[in-house]
Amino acid sequence: MAVTISGFSFVRNAIRYDYPIVEALLSLLPLCDEVVVAVGDSDDGTLEAITRIGDPKLRILPTRWEPTNPGWRVLAEQTQKALDACRGLWCIYLQADEVLHEKDYDTLRRALHEAADDERVEAFVLQYYHFYGSYDYVGAGRQWYRREIRIVRNTGDVISWVDAQGFRKRLPHGKTRLLRARQLPVYVYHYGWVRPPQVMMQKLRHLHRLWHDEEWIRQHLPAGEAFDYRSAYAVKRFTGTHPAVMHERIARAQEWTRLFDPSRLPKAPLHVRISDWLEEHTGWRIGEYRNFRLLD
């Protein structure tokens, strides 16, 4: 079987909210026969920035973000538009603040080729580094999800689930089921919590409006114009390397990322500390949400 690979993503107003969408797409292009990105109706130069990538494998789908109820459903709708346009046997999904490392390309290619004829394998689960406050620290413990489906077999009946966090298989009569997946020793580098403090606050307020009203935002988000980076309980120093496509962005950010102080983070509640201790010593995360079924 010929193994073709599509990449796909979606974005809107990436420049205003400092999403590394260009880096995300650049990390997909060497792996893929095509990369599809649904670019929402932005007014900050996002479409122009993506167009400047200039790779013939990149296909841009201009879209509109129509009001939905609930508001977060638009995220899955935009993801689905990009997925439906993919033509590859396998489809690799990255959100606009997620990047792949070039050191993992061979592992990904090998896994996709080996599973091409095994239709039991409907998806692949990748692991996560969640960077927080700085490119030198990653979130630690159950506050952060460990893994998620980021590769799906393109069967035509895979749907973006809920708020675009994962995927499921569409069944008749409006039903769905979990996808059968294998986990790979490959990490997604998630940079959603590394932005200039003022931009981080703007992004949080904008995103939470998809879930909550203004009163909820006033009560639950910190006051002021700058995010103080104290919403995490624990981080650990990152000792690996970043994807090459991120190096320029990381260098530009040093003026403010050097100010992050992990010693200011609040202490986790007792139940979180107990759960984290158990996970550290046994590998078991109590009550972990899994939107997939792992194959042996």
Q: Domain 1-296 is of which CATH architecture? A: Alpha-Beta Complex (3.90)
Phi, psi of 153 (to 5 degrees): -75, 135
CA 212 to chain CA centroid, Å, is 21
Residues 6 or more apart whose Cβ sits within 8 Å of residue 43 = 13
Alpha-carbon distance 51 to 59, whole Å?
9
pLDDT along the chain (296 residues), means of 10: 93 97 98 98 97 98 92 95 98 98 98 97 98 98 96 97 95 96 98 97 93 90 88 96 98 95 95 93 93 93
Task: Look at residue 14 in the predicted model and tell me its pLDDT.
Answer: 98
| Confidence at residue 2, expressed as pLDDT on a 0 to 100 scale | 82
Note the pLDDT of residue 100: 98
pLDDT of residue 86: 98
Residue labelled with tokens 């893994």: 147
DSSP H helical ranges for the chain: 21-28, 46-51, 73-84, 105-114, 197-208, 214-220, 247-252, 254-257, 270-282
- Closest CA relative to residue 178, chosen from 263, 69, 292, 283: 292
So what's the pLDDT on residue 224?
A: 83
Q: If you compute the radius of gyration of the chain from its CA atoms, what whole number of angstroms results?
A: 19
pLDDT score of 1:
67
- What pLDDT score does 205 carry? 93
Q: pLDDT at position 165, please?
A: 87
Q: What is the Cα–Cα distance from 201 to 29, expressed in whole angstroms?
A: 31
